[in-house]
Structure 1
Amino acid sequence: MVGGAGSEDPAANAALGDCRTGSVLTVATSELAELSTESRFPLPVSRFRHLRVALVHDWLVTLGGADRVLLALHHVFPQAPVFVGVHDLRGLPEAFRQLDVRATWLQQIPGAARRHRLLVPLMPLAFSRLVLRGYDVVISSSHACSHSVSTPGARHICYCHTPMRYAWDLRDEYLAALPGVTRPAARMMLAWLRRRDSAAAAHVDEFIANSHYVASRIRRHYGRESTVIYPPVDTDFFTPSESAQSTQPTHSTQSDADESRERGDFYLVVSRLVPYKRVDVAVEAFNRLGRPLVIVGDGPERRRLQAMARPHIRFVGELTDLAMRRYYRRCRAVVFPGEEDFGLVPVEAQACGRPVIAYGRGGALESVVQGVTGMFIAAQTPDALSAGVQAAEAMTFDAAAIRRHAVQFSRQRFIGQIEEFVARAISP
């Protein structure tokens, strides 16, 4: 079972104690090498070392799932420069500071990186004026505008994380959040962005989608077919604890109680704190349930969410991968209330042997197996999530089976599929 509602477990209280003080689990000096994502992977002898490749990415400012995909793409093409709209590498892992990063003219605007989302209306123009000559292949990693780049003479492959959300699927939500007086201008701006986005998509030679869910949106918005290659998760790093790897299904036995004390007695949310992630649903549900909840991540919604939360809900901010792994390993389950294009968090949690309670739409349907690695809720409401948590607590989950499922999303699998796709794309 996922576990009961009590919080008398000393390990659980210790975990929540970390959150109360705003600290995270201590990182030993011997473990510091694990904090650099790229340092865990030796550079390969690239089969494409004679191929002239450029990578293009929307922006590099804060670390997200799309940025991890970029790093994996660079692992396949270590000689490739990375062109971005804007960047601020100071807050990113060392691996990003080792890249040959080149920005568009938007970088010259004071405070461009800090205000990069406000510059999105200018990004189609900035990328379209970025003419990449002399390359055999250009790979754009796009959730906004990077596929607008000009690629004369090159094969342009777009790894699409999503068609631009605020211009397409989340347009109405975006407009509803604006002051009424600004909506007519914003509506015109979004219509212009959609036209530019469609025109840019028409010049892409081949699309890769990060999920079947995104592939359907590429088909709907762009009229294009795509190949699905799931994003990579470092399943060699995100692993269960040694005791969890050897345990039987998590029903209530004495040995499982011992493991529960080691794991802790809290649920976990890992997310950027922005409206569409629906972390508010989790906060309200756990307010009602009274279960301990740890929320990892930061963003503009944090202050509002903290004001909503009762004392048993703790916010710990952004964490290193190493600290994140410890929270994954020790939680009862990960709660995933958003509708995501794919979502790395459910896979990272499952790689650590932990079940996921997810909203049953979007990419989670492709990464979570109902009743085996987690369960789905039918609506993004506190009532549905509360019922889902209670239902999960009555279910049996096998940590080893959860882990086996997650391994199919490994980094090695991603690299192999990208290599195969590019080889096929450039073949005569």
Structure 2
Amino acid sequence: MKIAIVHDWLTTNAGAEKVLREFLDIYPNADIFSLVDFLDDKDREDVLNGRKVTTSFIQNLPFAKNKFRNYLGLFPLAIEQFDLSEYDLILSSSHAVAKGVLTHSEQVHISYVHTPIRYAWDLYFRYLEDNNLQKGFKATILKYILHKIRIWDYTTANRVDYYISNSNYIAKRIAKIYNKSATTIYPPVDIDKFKLCINKEDFYLTASRLVPYKKIDLIVEAFAKSNKKLVVIGDGTQMEYIKSKATSNIEILGYQEDSVLLDYMQRAKAFIFAGVEDFGITPVEAMACGTPVIALNQGGLRESIESGINGIFFEEQSVESIKEAINRFESISFKPSIIRDSIVKFGRDRFKKEIEEFIRIVF
């Protein structure tokens, strides 16, 4: 049996790449296809374990290494140029265009969907607002490109034979956008790597890419109005903006190696997250360390957080709502061992078992 695994792009080792790594553990002889592959050596070894990737023509376009997203309008064309006609099973890991590869009637295409294209659907208006692209020539061009991508994304829904969603939240989005049903298999969390730590210190932690939809700026603003200590780990386009809002009780560390992030996760009083997540692997990793999570009551995190057991929710993406949740959190007692026990069901072995069982049934 010949198997092809299709991934949107390989530029960083994030949640989607953790899923890809498990796919490759299950099918070590599968061939890998991706729009671009710019992983550094460390991430390449962790995700791909030395395997070769077939990339699209976007890989060789000018400035693609740092600006490949500027070729967004070419993504549908590029993904359709992969000739997968000799493969029996196509397994795509998709948060953008990977699900749109061309297949024929003798093949089975299973797509693990992290989310339908965020900036073309649910986050369309927020994406334009956050990037100041509501008016002007550049905005008009981008709106047209996203309009065409929405049409392409919807019309390619039938290219997938079976959908897997990474949360029930995403399953609802798949049903809404594609009118397709999906089976939820939660993504893998490396429970063994994120060890339980009983002794917590007097600081809060948030860790994320510093981009508008993650709302790290709101967390920083909330702590700027208190004397509580906050540590921020991550880098991104909003780094300077977020630094400008920080006060002396807020430490912004930028990008850190996994070992440093793990250390802070284990010692933190709580992990704070203000974005709407498809599933939210990083908060679950924090809970694996026995660290409670304070999170927005929306998205996939409602499927991993049990209020009062392993964390609490706030209701709005606002500074006041975050401040209220922090004050409420400090009146609740959490047990790190119970927090960890509540999320062991999201481990890597469980993910592999459920994926293998799903494929065995449908293929």
The two structures have a TM-score, normalised by structure 2, of 0.96
2:13 is paired with a residue of what secondary structure? coil
Per the TM alignment, residue 295 of structure 1 is displaced from its structure 2 partner at its CA by 0.8
Question: Does 2:296 match 1:359?
Answer: yes
The equivalent of 1:48 in structure 2 is none
2:75 is paired with a residue of what secondary structure? helix
2:66 is paired with a residue of what secondary structure? coil
Mapped to 2, the partners of 1:214 and 1:116 lie a distance apart of 26
Per the TM alignment, residue 370 of structure 1 is displaced from its structure 2 partner at its CA by 0.5
RMSD: 1.2
Residue deviations 1:321-376 (CA, integer Å, cap 9, x gap): 22221111100000011111111011101100010000000011001101100000
Contact 2:210-2:236 at 8 Å conserved across structures: yes
Mapped to 1, the partners of 2:260 and 2:354 lie a distance apart of 30
Residue deviations 1:151-174 (CA, integer Å, cap 9, x gap): 233210110000000110011112
Per the TM alignment, residue 264 of structure 1 is displaced from its structure 2 partner at its CA by 2.3
Question: Does 2:265 match 1:328?
Answer: yes
Question: Does 2:12 match 1:62?
Answer: yes
The equivalent of 1:198 in structure 2 is 154
- Match of residue 220, structure 1, among 171, 176, 200: 176
Q: Which amino acid aligns with 2:98?
A: S
Per the TM alignment, residue 424 of structure 1 is displaced from its structure 2 partner at its CA by 0.8
Mapped to 2, the partners of 1:81 and 1:162 lie a distance apart of 23
Mapped to 1, the partners of 2:4 and 2:255 lie a distance apart of 30
- Match of residue 99, structure 2, among 147, 150, 157: 147
Mapped to 2, the partners of 1:136 and 1:409 lie a distance apart of 29
Question: Does 2:350 match 1:410?
Answer: no
The equivalent of 1:378 in structure 2 is 315
Q: How does 1:235-384 map to 2 (within 5 A)?
A: 235-241=191-197, 244=198, 259=199, 263-384=200-321
Contact 1:356-1:368 at 8 Å conserved across structures: yes
Q: How does 1:131-170 map to 2 (within 5 A)?
A: 131-152=83-104, 153-170=106-123
Mapped to 1, the partners of 2:170 and 2:65 lie a distance apart of 27
Mapped to 2, the partners of 1:369 and 1:296 lie a distance apart of 25
2:64 is paired with a residue of what secondary structure? coil
Per the TM alignment, residue 191 of structure 1 is displaced from its structure 2 partner at its CA by 1.1
Question: Does 2:20 match 1:83?
Answer: no
2:86 is paired with a residue of what secondary structure? coil
Instruction: Extract unaligned runs of 5+ from structure 1.
Output: 1-50, 245-258
The equivalent of 1:248 in structure 2 is none
2:83 is paired with a residue of what secondary structure? coil
2:40 is paired with a residue of what secondary structure? helix
Relative contact order: is structure 1 or structure 2 higher (C-alpha 8 Å, sep ≥ 6)? Answer: 1
The equivalent of 1:102 in structure 2 is 54
1:284 is paired with a residue of what secondary structure? helix
Mapped to 2, the partners of 1:135 and 1:284 lie a distance apart of 51
Contact 2:80-2:101 at 8 Å conserved across structures: yes
Residue deviations 1:220-272 (CA, integer Å, cap 9, x gap): 0000000000000000111113xx1xxxxxxxxxxxxxx3xxx3211000111
1:117 is paired with a residue of what secondary structure? helix
- Match of residue 78, structure 2, among 126, 130, 139: 126
Residue deviations 1:162-206 (CA, integer Å, cap 9, x gap): 000011001111222315113332222111000110122121101
Residue deviations 1:249-307 (CA, integer Å, cap 9, x gap): xxxxxxxxxx3xxx321100011110000001100000012211111111111111011
Contact 1:57-1:141 at 8 Å conserved across structures: yes
Mapped to 1, the partners of 2:237 and 2:351 lie a distance apart of 32
Residue deviations 1:76-135 (CA, integer Å, cap 9, x gap): 111112100011122652223612211011111122131122122211110112120211
- Judging changes above 3 Å, is the alpha-carbon distance between structure 1 residues 98 and 225 closer, same or farther for their aligned structure 2 residues? same
The two structures have a TM-score, normalised by structure 1, of 0.81
The equivalent of 1:74 in structure 2 is 24
Mapped to 2, the partners of 1:382 and 1:92 lie a distance apart of 37
Mapped to 1, the partners of 2:31 and 2:341 lie a distance apart of 35
- Judging changes above 3 Å, is the alpha-carbon distance between structure 1 residues 301 and 91 closer, same or farther for their aligned structure 2 residues? farther
2:29 is paired with a residue of what secondary structure? coil
Contact 2:58-2:68 at 8 Å conserved across structures: no
Contact 1:350-1:402 at 8 Å conserved across structures: yes
- Answer with 341-350 or 179-188: which moved more: 179-188
